[in-house]
């Protein structure tokens, strides 16, 4: 009886080591490569926008296709960050109150513009922001969760760059 149990246990361990482990490793490598390739595509897009100061509809379509062609289903949003300079003539903390003169406080703020028409031409100093979120569950994540109960989490990141 003990001999039968040890044979069954040995067969299960052999199956795990020879079939499931390499399959999990292969899936996780593919998943990691896909994540890096999406990051590379977004970086290339931001560099192109920084250099040319324009985005065409073809550029956006190419970005969407490139990000979704690596095996993961992702949602890509491109936003324009409009640079605005705010001048406060009477700041709350005046550094020289004894003089009686007020120094102006200058701050730079970036406002997100969700208008699609404003996306195509950038001014110098504006920013471009790309938000990438994984929509579905990749086969590797699903398989890993079913076998080991571990989940690496969905792909989600934001990259930005200043134009000019």
Domain coordinates in residue numbering, the chain: 2-82+114-162
Per-residue pLDDT at 74: 93
Q: Are the beta carbons of 30 and 72 closer than 8 angstroms? A: no
Per residue of the chain (164 residues), what is the pLDDT tens digit? 678 888 888 888 887 778 777 877 888 888 889 999 999 999 999 999 999 988 999 999 999 999 999 888 899 999 999 888 877 766 666 555 566 555 667 778 888 887 777 888 888 889 999 999 999 877 777 777 777 777 777 889 999 999 98
Query: CA–CA separation, 70 vs 130, rounded Å?
Result: 17
Per-residue pLDDT at 160: 93
Per-residue pLDDT at 94: 59
Give the CB-side neighbour count of residue 120, counting CA atoms within 13 A: 6
Helix (H/G/I), strand (E/B), else coil: 123: coil
Residues 6+ apart with CB under 8 A from 32: none
Q: DSSP string spanning 13-81?
A: HHHIIIIIHHHHHHHHHHHHHHHHHHHHHHHHHHHHHHHHSB--HHHHHHHHHHHTTSS--EEEEEEEE
Per-residue pLDDT at 37: 95
Radius of gyration of the chain (CA): 26
Please tell me what DSSP assigns to residue 107: E
CATH number of the domain at 2-82+114-162, please? 3.30.1300
Per-residue pLDDT at 115: 78
Q: Are the beta carbons of 131 and 112 closer than 8 angstroms? A: no
């Amino acid at each position: 009886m003990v001999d039968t149990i040890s044979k069954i246990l040995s067969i299960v361990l052999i199956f795990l080591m020879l079939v499931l482990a390499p399959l999990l490793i292969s899936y996780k490598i593919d998943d990691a490569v896909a994540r890096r390739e999406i990051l590379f595509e977004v970086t290339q897009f931001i560099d192109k926008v920084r250099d040319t100061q324009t985005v065409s509809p073809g550029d956006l379509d190419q970005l969407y296709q490139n990000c979704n062609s690596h095996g993961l289903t992702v949602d890509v949003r491109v936003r324009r960050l409009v640079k605005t300079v705010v001048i406060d003539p009477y700041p709350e903390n005046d550094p020289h109150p004894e003089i009686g003169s007020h120094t102006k406080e200058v701050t730079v703020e970036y406002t997100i513009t969700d208008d699609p028409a404003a996306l195509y031409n950038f001014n110098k100093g504006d920013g471009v922001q790309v938000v990438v979120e994984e929509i579905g569950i990749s086969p590797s994540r699903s398989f890993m969760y079913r076998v080991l109960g571990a989940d690496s989490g969905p792909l989600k990141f934001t990259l930005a760059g200043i134009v000019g």
